[in-house]
Amino acid sequence: MRLEVAELALPALDAAEGDTLALFVGPERPVQGLAGLADWRLAGALSRAMRAGHFRGATGEQLLLPVQGRLRLARILCVGAPEPPGDEAAFRALAYRALDALLKAGSLRQVASLPPVRPGALAPATVARLWLEACVRFPPERQLLLGEAQALRRDLAAARDSLGVNVQLGPPEPPPAPRAPSLPGPRGVLR
């Protein structure tokens, strides 16, 4: 399993490649964090789905959205997170629910950010450890986490070492170089 980290910003989201973008959506309106950036790129598709009552962000609620070519991802999975977790058990349950849904959807190359937690409830190192435990239980092939990259990398490395799991950590792999347009062979005719 490979975990990559990058800053939570529009350029990182625009460059992110994978099969699924996982968003944790709570009661806040307008949506914040990665969900807010994705909604911006989708011209408000998530906000419209919520206004229409198709998704509220309730516990256990999930919504699958098409990307419609606006991102380098095939789909978006929104996971309801109505209340930021305030303890390890609540965070673990949310992480397991999200990663299990991604695995059941056949997602192997994911883009996400860590779910928000209640202010002061869990240390960032604990959040990273709990997320890594969930990833080991529901393993993606590759996952890009957007957030504070330097702190995420440090906390995930400490969690990996304390858990003794085989996880590669690094920056996002660069996208493949664009292919040059094909030209006809030496005897081809251009019209």
Digit-coded pLDDT (tens) for 82-124: 999 999 999 999 999 999 999 999 999 999 999 999 999 999 9
| CATH architecture under which domain 2-170 falls | 3-Layer(aba) Sandwich (3.40)
Would you call 86 helix, strand, or coil by DSSP?
Answer: coil
What is the distance between the alpha carbons of residues 129 and 52, in angstroms, rounded to a whole number?
A: 37
Q: What is the pTM of this model?
A: 0.88
Would you call 14 helix, strand, or coil by DSSP?
Answer: helix
Task: State CA 113 to chain mean position distance.
Answer: 5
What is the distance between the alpha carbons of residues 14 and 29, in angstroms, rounded to a whole number?
A: 23
Contact between 53 and 144 (Cβ < 8 Å): no
Question: Could you tell me the two tokens for 109?
Answer: 């190359």
Mean pLDDT of 64-70: 90
Mean pLDDT of 77-85: 94
Percentage of the chain modeled with pLDDT above 70: 91
Q: Where are the domains of the chain?
A: 2-170
Task: State CA 74 to chain mean position distance.
Answer: 13
